[in-house]
Structure 1
């Protein structure tokens, strides 16, 4: 009687259209139910039965059902699944292979099949990459299914953390294949013989891919003659060759704790191109005359392809100890010792010059994880930056500025590093913060200019509180095909070429330099390549963060109540984000761990303050002492409490 009844169909349509409709992101709970987060303030309950149609992170739309004054979300349309290409752990249910995706509730299993190209026989606990084949909300589908497309790591691999992280961001886990490499005749022509010049390298003790060497002398009136030799992998790698195309995809060497994946093959990176001591190597050499005040111009610069031979491999810490009088150098070469003293003088002159004419960042400490044979964290070493680091940093900046000047004058394009200062959408907030701190000689227009930004940075660089507050309003660094300012460094343009073994953008600039020197047609880089570089750099930073968070969680998991010096780096409504300055780990300090009476302590993120009973108790950049309260290994978060030594 009701079959094909148009009135009934119309009634159903009207009732359907009258139901409240929403869309949002699914948030799953370990107990099987979930929530639809519509915005920061609104969410709707999803019953267990309906969650069987969804997975954590899905973007969906549907209707709101009211029953006995309770509201429930009824999913109807899948907008975007959070599971498209994902990694997970293999398991078996009722003899059927399933995959447990990471970052999902532990009981969320998807039946899967294995692509024939996956050679390994999978066993329980193995980690794999998979792609989603079906979703219950898709048309004509009623269940989740996936296909395993790549094996990552076995259940007992000590490299599991590293391999999973690389797979998560679709990064390579092996060096490129080796090949037979030779230098073409054209690359050998007109190379200046500079093997008698006393070049030397300064790197970390375990560095193998050494891409820069230095030599320096001084004339009778105190001016410096600086020579910087940069490794020349493009001598071995023809443009658009298979090796070049692999490097173009990788863009950078991947540096993870005790696990590096080179951009170039190991044979090139650690041998043929590396400026090893007492080995003849091709290099691009920059010669610069610098006055005793650290200044130089275009007329003081020249470039040449050359053969060089480094006379010694030095380590940062040994150089710093020698120059700061703590110990002698580990070699007896008087020429190199003299050069190091000259470089120390030049570095001080250049730092002073940059303080007056550009910007100087405060040095950050480096932290090194020490792992045992099972790749568990034994220790974390804080590596202080000394004069040895400063020397190399200043010389590389000089070399990069020299190339920047050359590209601007002779070429007109290249791979330039850029930074545009403050994000324009935060200017009103920035002006208010400055006014609240008695700084009123800036307006919207001046803050967005290069000159205005540099002026402000020089004004506040010694104010840690204000510098930390404003840091979050800055734009990220980027790349450009033409010269544009780098606000953060205080340079009107900045291009790099000093790490061609590790950065494809530096290889591009090498080729532009060589083509210009030889009078050849110049092939400019493309916007597509710059986007690839930018995207890869973001992935690498995320991978580095994930590995560090895991290793820090592992290291701190058995250190409950142990105290650490810390610095407040951010404040939100719930408390403060701090950095443990002795080991580099980030942790969260909840308001409840700052003061016993919760309603007497409040955070003011917009002011960078935490108040107790309306009195300022803590602020951004404050040094405090905290104790480990809890380490949540499921999301690698560290919770700390305020140590009694602060009271």
Structure 2
């Protein structure tokens, strides 16, 4: 026997792991360190969309010869695998339609990517009506030999086909709290203004100062108001930013505080608002409604004629708003400001001067490296029954700019004051983008003639000035919104932290959120810290200070949840609205390119899919670097930002999805 032979125990080969993404067709994909694997429907083994799974690759050809539409084959050439085990579950609850099938109540998941019904015992929840929309908690997950079981945790709606049922599904899927605790409701009901007590406690009396609010037309909670006066003796403008004094009514550790802390933010859905605070506070006592006396935390910002901050003063005050304007009304005044000023009154000239100062502030921020992304926000207009009737588009206007710049300056001022005092604060941090995220855009931008070679190195370095140049060069072209969207996606998300690390997008050395304490918990925290810095530390100050890291992480996470729910609700109502336009043609922009087809976005911002099979009978080659699909016979190229004429083939409200074909094709 050779002495060189090694007798070693063979180690078992580790199986790939990754997060499972399941399609509506029942098959899935798992991205692993070894690459992406296709999982046929027969290989899911009880795994749900979003689960972390361990997989075993199948032998070559094991899933060949069948189409994706059959749920058991991949036409994109990915290696196939099957799920061996679920390492970590993404879901402990599901939302679905409750069906009575004695002795069971069967919950059929509303998410088509989860193809497993959950069985409950009808005797445990006999009051749940057949067809109700429910949230079910899973007690046992499905296996190859047994079904999923659980129990009904909450009835979201008595019927799953009501106009608001789709939004109820979104609420349930994101586990948004919709009911306040009895303690929180009692706290809110017991709160009183006590104007005399406020003045006795040191609040300044600003009830004679002319003050106004500018908000969306359908707003109920007005948490910021403005005032503007010219101080002749100093040659300065006194811009007052008056913010609802929520911290007076919501002390740390109270029942209403605990509810607000869990929620962390109000959620603005297409057909409803889920407030952070009970309506007795958010819509009434804290809201800076016209003609009502209200407590505020006020920032007086003294500006010269060029919009530069000369000095400031921060203090609690008692105010009375004199006028409530919608953004549309404010814009109307600014458009025809000469006539408005000639007509007299206190509001027109103040709006004009606020707008002029805002433009000066915006220009100064741009010179410092601030980046202004051109975005279009879509809001679906609903009738009294919650059915969509139109889609309204919102873009930046003089009125929105006026409010935005005032709030940015107030936020910067408060954050800087607390930092200089060495006082705790929950900062709004925006880190510079990663160089690889920006670098990945270069091949896409090279397709456009305005993108020049010297821009490449500056872009990878995250130079905000070159990002400004790219946005300016692309803005007047058809790809302008797409370029803005791609750059925005390359940015890191801003979040809340107890350490100041600056705000890249605003070019701010120090920044926090101070201006919306009715709807954002971090703003409420900042108010408490400011009050403590201005007066004295409250009894439980150290306790709240120690919780800042957790509050920052939790608030950042809940912000993402709220944004996702809001976006999904608008998308759902857009699909419901566009269902009446199936068969009609539209002009669209290619907003995404993949091996299986294109994402296209209509001018109303609705986005859908254009499958590769709808592009023609030839084979299309996908370039993942330049994001293009190229026909191997015709040479036809489809790329990001390209305009295409499409026809709406289907609008599925169940999955909130749109499918298109090229105009002129079936």
TM class, shorter-length: 0.7 to 0.9
Q: Secondary structure at the match of 2:463?
A: helix
Residue-by-residue CA offset, 1:92-136 (whole Å, 9 max, x unaligned): 3354322222325797433213696x6x71122112122222245
1:574 aligns with 2:596: yes
CA contact (8 A) 2:430 2:504 kept: yes
Q: 2:565 aligns with which of 539, 543, 554?
A: 543
CA contact (8 A) 1:19 1:64 kept: no
Structure 1 residue 336 displacement after superposition: 1.5
CA contact (8 A) 1:114 1:148 kept: no
Which residue is equivalent to 2:625?
Answer: 606
Q: Which runs of 5+ in 1 are unaligned?
A: 1-13
CA contact (8 A) 1:174 1:261 kept: no
1:454 aligns with 2:464: yes
Relative to 1, partners in 2 of residues 1:543 and 1:293: Cα closer, same or farther, differing over 3 Å?
same
Structure 1 residue 562 displacement after superposition: 2.2
Relative to 1, partners in 2 of residues 1:104 and 1:517: Cα closer, same or farther, differing over 3 Å?
same
Q: Secondary structure at the match of 1:598?
A: coil
Which residue is equivalent to 1:112?
Answer: 120
Alignment of 1:133-144 (within 5 A): 133-135=139-141, 137=143, 142-144=146-148
Which residue is equivalent to 1:3?
Answer: none
- 2 CA distance for matches of 1:480 and 1:503? 14
1:323 aligns with 2:342: no
CA contact (8 A) 1:163 1:173 kept: no
Relative to 1, partners in 2 of residues 1:28 and 1:182: Cα closer, same or farther, differing over 3 Å?
closer
For normalisation by structure 2, the TM-score amounts to 0.81
Which residue is equivalent to 1:347?
Answer: 358
Which residue is equivalent to 1:226?
Answer: 239
Q: Secondary structure at the match of 2:227?
A: strand
Structure 1 residue 528 displacement after superposition: 0.7
1:639 aligns with 2:644: no
Residue-by-residue CA offset, 1:322-342 (whole Å, 9 max, x unaligned): 111289669976122221121
1:473 aligns with 2:470: no
Q: Secondary structure at the match of 2:581?
A: coil
Structure 1 residue 194 displacement after superposition: 0.8
Which residue is equivalent to 2:576?
Answer: 554
Alignment of 1:141-540 (within 5 A): 142-155=146-159, 157-174=162-179, 177=185, 178-182=188-192, 189-219=201-231, 223-297=236-310, 300-325=311-336, 334-426=345-437, 429=440, 437-440=451-454, 447=460, 452-464=462-474, 467-520=484-537, 523=542, 524=545, 526-540=548-562
For normalisation by structure 1, the TM-score amounts to 0.83
- 2 CA distance for matches of 1:389 and 1:62? 51
Q: 1:585 aligns with which of 574, 587, 606?
A: 606
- 2 CA distance for matches of 1:278 and 1:69? 73
Structure 1 residue 259 displacement after superposition: 0.2
Relative to 1, partners in 2 of residues 1:136 and 1:190: Cα closer, same or farther, differing over 3 Å?
closer
Structure 1 residue 65 displacement after superposition: 8.8
Aligned length: 613
- 2 CA distance for matches of 1:424 and 1:256? 34
Relative to 1, partners in 2 of residues 1:567 and 1:26: Cα closer, same or farther, differing over 3 Å?
closer
Relative to 1, partners in 2 of residues 1:504 and 1:21: Cα closer, same or farther, differing over 3 Å?
closer
Q: 1:125 aligns with which of 128, 131, 155?
A: 131
1:88 aligns with 2:96: yes
- 2 CA distance for matches of 1:330 and 1:146? 66
- 1 CA distance for matches of 2:254 and 2:152? 32
CA contact (8 A) 2:198 2:318 kept: no
- 1 CA distance for matches of 2:328 and 2:488? 30
CA contact (8 A) 1:35 1:43 kept: yes
CA contact (8 A) 2:608 2:659 kept: yes
- 2 CA distance for matches of 1:447 and 1:20? 37
CA contact (8 A) 2:193 2:294 kept: no
Question: What is the Cα-based RMSD across aligned positions, in Å?
Answer: 3.9
1:54 aligns with 2:46: yes
Relative to 1, partners in 2 of residues 1:472 and 1:331: Cα closer, same or farther, differing over 3 Å?
same
Relative to 1, partners in 2 of residues 1:566 and 1:485: Cα closer, same or farther, differing over 3 Å?
farther
